[in-house]
Amino acid sequence: MTDAQNPDYDPDLYLASASPRRAEILERMGVRFRCIPQAVDEQVQTGETPEVFVFRLALEKARAGLAGLDAGRAVPVLGADTAVVVDDDILGKPGDRDEAMAMLARLSGRTHRVLTGIAMVDGQRELTRLSLSMVTLRPIAAVEQAAYWQSGEPLDKAGAYAIQGRGGVFVEQLEGSYSGVMGLPMVETHDLLAEFGIDYQSRWPAGQ
């Protein structure tokens, strides 16, 4: 258990996600939190743009998390959603090897967008932020795609790759937020924390 998730602490917020990457980023920031994962329908709605899609899911996760808390709790809930977008198509998590191979082949040697929408709610306010990054992958040979699939990493990753993992060897260029591509942009998260009056930085240890 990390210090930020210690049950003896009063949390700064609840994280409506089971993502270890989002938890890692909050921990790195020094935010005290507890995870309350939420399952929502992640199907793209007809005519929905990628921006609207990530905002909607982030809000739905945050709202669902808030609804599951005891009445009277004043701690906000943070939701987030990330989409890999190429040719205006949203690439979700691959369901099998064939889908993963198709996604990696489509992204190979090209630049794509990564959008992460975040939302924080407390029953009184609902605030959102958007992170947009441009990621260029080098050409990925079929044998590399197969080896990457065998590693197990692509299965639960949007776009079938993880920039913070083995998939980082495919990333040729990044314009934007590294943490946003991971799933929780630090700058935008800080902005929401400030809006809700959460001064997590005052607890940063001196000399570290």
Residue ranges covered by each domain of the chain:
3-203
For the annotated catalytic residues, the residue numbers are 81
- Residues 164 and 114: their CA atoms lie apart, in Å, by 14
Chain mean position to CA 140 = 24
Q: What is the pLDDT of residue 34?
A: 94
- Residue range 3-203 forms a domain whose CATH class is alpha beta
Q: Residue 1: is its pLDDT beyond 60? A: no
Q: Whose CA is closest to 54, among 83, 78, 79, 77?
A: 83
Computed over every residue of the chain, the mean pLDDT equals 93
> For the chain, how many residues are written?
208
Contact 147, 157 (CB under 8 A): no
Task: Report the percentage of the chain scoring pLDDT > 70.
Answer: 95
For residue 9, what pLDDT is reported? 73
Beta-bridged to residue 82, according to DSSP, are 116
What is the reported pTM? Answer: 0.91
Res. 3 pLDDT band, cuts 50 70 90: low
**Would the pLDDT of 36 be above 70?**
yes
Residues 6+ apart with CB under 8 A from 112: 84, 85, 86, 134, 135, 136, 137, 159
